[in-house]
Amino acid sequence: MLFDVHAHYDDERFDEDRDILLSSMHENNVGHIINIGCDIASSEASICLAEKYPFMYAAVGFHPHEAANVKDGDYDTLIALSKHSKVVAIGEIGLDYYYGKDIMDIQKKVFREQIELAKSVNLPFQVHNRDSTRDCLMILKEANMGDRCGMMHCFSESKETAREMLNLGMKISIGGIVTFKNNVKTVEVVKYVPIEDLMIETDSPYLAPVPYRGKRNSSIYVHAVAEKIAELKGMDTDEVIAITEKNAMEFYRID
Ligand SMILES: [Zn+2]
């Protein structure tokens, strides 16, 4: 079944129909979803969703947009949250120089600290990277991690960057942007990266794939990402769904 490795169902855009929508996942062939934390409150909300729905899992962490809001004691809270049986990752962590140019140094510090935190609790992490590839690669290199370390969420960089990420032991997650018209870069990345290193995601409620572009995104639409990958790699969609599911189950240690 489809495994959406990155979604935000605690977002207010789901307030009206969250339960109805999530209850329809099984009939839409969505077998697993990881809900992502951006700060302490959304990390706790992710755990609540994971407790309510057997097919949901949680990631806990500070999004780069929140880097300046990390307070004393917050990492202790994150460590405590990470012990929950349904927490499978630290995230989303990383860098965003598109929005956060004024807090670049704080972002780098908080990114490094959360990589160390992930190592200390032995969980993989999910990385957000926007207009910050050079620093992102530098920090990941410094961190000197093993094989099962992190996943680049909604990868939108070049094939060359993908190669460097793979060399560092990172996995690549593909979102709806691969279906967007004229997105040559991500098409090349999908053709280049071995299927064993790929996962699929929606980043719901953002970035709905074609033909749903502009709508509120949901995990149901992740099938469009799987279909596009199948087309680009000359594989069956069912095969792409099965392999990306297996990749995510192993990476996030889900039975
Ligand atoms: Zn996200």
148: pLDDT confidence band, cut at 50, 70 and 90? low
Å from CA of 99 to ligand 1 middle: 14
Å from CA of 36 to ligand 1 middle: 7
pLDDT at site 208: 96
Which letter does DSSP use for residue 130 in this model?
E
Domain encompassing residue 215: 2-251
CA separation for the pair 81, 199 (Å, rounded): 25
Tens digits of residue pLDDT in 155-171? 999 999 999 999 999 99
Å from CA of 154 to ligand 1 middle: 8
144: pLDDT confidence band, cut at 50, 70 and 90? confident
| CATH number of 191's domain | 3.20.20.140
Å from CA of 182 to ligand 1 middle: 23
Å from CA of 145 to ligand 1 middle: 23
Å from CA of 220 to ligand 1 middle: 16
Q: Is the pTM value of this prediction over 0.95?
A: yes
Å from CA of 143 to ligand 1 middle: 22
Tens digits of residue pLDDT in 210-225? 999 999 999 999 999 9
Query: Which among 159, 147, 81 is positioned nearest to 114, based on CA atoms?
Result: 81
CA separation for the pair 142, 144 (Å, rounded): 5
Any idea which residue has 């969250």 for tokens?
18
Tens digits of residue pLDDT in 106-124? 999 999 999 999 999 999 9
CA distances from residue 159 to 88, 163, 166, 184, 188 in whole angstroms, order as listed = 28, 6, 10, 10, 6
Å from CA of 35 to ligand 1 middle: 9
Query: Which among 3, 69, 75, 70 is positioned nearest to 35, based on CA atoms?
Result: 3
Å from CA of 158 to ligand 1 middle: 20
Tens digits of residue pLDDT in 160-211? 999 999 999 999 999 999 999 989 999 999 999 999 999 999 999 999 999 9
**How many domains does one find in the chain?**
1
Å from CA of 7 to ligand 1 middle: 6
pLDDT at site 100: 87
